[in-house]
Structure 1
């Protein structure tokens, strides 16, 4: 029979008696946005947008752009850097001030309100359907995909039932290997 006392349990972060200071989400986001990694990601997105996909008729200063599953918001920052002012970033977990909380599988927007929807974190069929739903007629959906062989592209194209593929290209400087552009 063991007579040793059990070690004390670790203190949980949400314990009200904790002396650990609370850091507001906005302050945490500003700290992340001041890193070199953040700047490098924003620059990469800016180059991708400029060179490959967004400087077309659907993406001028007066355009409404939605970044779906926007993570910490690097793509939102990159679009604003390129002069597109009306950019909305959504993600399951908000990352103020660039990304607000919303479910990418059930977007809280009316039909046809955005000129362009972009995602670098593509998921599944419902995700594609929601992107198509919130794009106005003549708008575009742009998706970065992890693998860009013929089979993968064919699979992604099949998910966008109300749009047609207008461009597919390899993106060499990214973890994601390909980019698909659809027109609604």
Structure 2
């Protein structure tokens, strides 16, 4: 058999033989490239059963496209800016006033709301006196929300005193989501997350959280201040972290 293969290869014209080698090499390089790209794009949950990444995204672009389907939905945006507007501002105002009483937020705080949609939480911060506040989302909503990806915040290190988010479940890369918050918080700065624990969120969520343990591990440059049960638009737990000094 071996001699037959050798004899067959010898019977091929040199030009055809070398062309076949080139084509085979190109296919091999393409395969290795795709495998490398796949491994770079694959999100991980740090082998923690209490934080699971949902499957189904073939690339980061497909993830962004899926998130934009919700953010740009005209029916949802109309609801967010009309029927839900005042109701959500009242609820966020209640949360932020409590944080002010606990000395975790003040009028002098420079604040960021991560994944703010149309900015009800930003408006609530301003109404309780935290005027230097801004929101970040894939789609801007001036004047309260600017365009940006929470996996790659467009801000310098140590910019904010306070960051709030209720979209942790939408993070495809929870480590990058948390890493950017810790990077842009000042030492001693406060991060407040509203999350759903052991409760499956909507179809646009990219991860499912089953305890606050993974959050404590991800916030490796911060200390847990407290956690408590809340009723925040389908989210049931408020978790507060303080970035360590130094």
Shorter-chain TM band: 0.7 to 0.9
Q: Cα gap change, 1:81/1:96 in structure 2, threshold over 3 Å: closer, same or farther?
A: same
Alignment of 1:87 with 2:133, yes or no, is yes
SS at match of 2:149: coil
Give 1:76's match in structure 2, choosing from 102, 122, 135. Answer: 122
Q: Tell whether 2:154 aligns with 1:108.
A: yes
Q: Separation in 2 of the partners of 1:152 and 1:36?
A: 32
- Give the equivalent residue in structure 1 for 2:194: 144
| Partner of residue 171, structure 1 | 230
In structure 2, distance between residues paired with 1:86 and 1:119: 16
Unaligned runs of 5+ in 1: 1-29
What pairs up with 1:114-133 in 2 under 5 angstroms?
114-122=160-168, 123=171, 124-133=174-183
Deviation at 1:170, TM superposition (A): 0.4
1:38 corresponding residue in structure 2: 85
Contact kept in structure 1, 2:135 and 2:144, CA below 8 Å: yes
Task: Give the superposition deviation at 1:172.
Answer: 2.9
Instruction: Please state how far the C-alpha of 1:36 moved relative to its aligned partner.
Output: 3.1
| Bigger radius of gyration among the two | 2
Contact 1:148–1:170 (8 Å) recurs in 2: no
4+ runs deviating over 3 angstroms = 30-34, 54-58, 148-151
Q: Secondary structure at the match of 1:104?
A: coil
Local SS of the residue matching 1:171: strand
Task: Report the Cα offset of residue 180 of structure 1.
Answer: 0.4
TM-aligned CA distance change 1:158 to 1:74, over 3 Å: same
Deviation at 1:33, TM superposition (A): 7.0
Aligned-residue CA RMSD in angstroms?
2.4
Q: TM-score, normalised by structure 2?
A: 0.58
Q: Is the helix fraction higher in 1 or 2?
A: 2
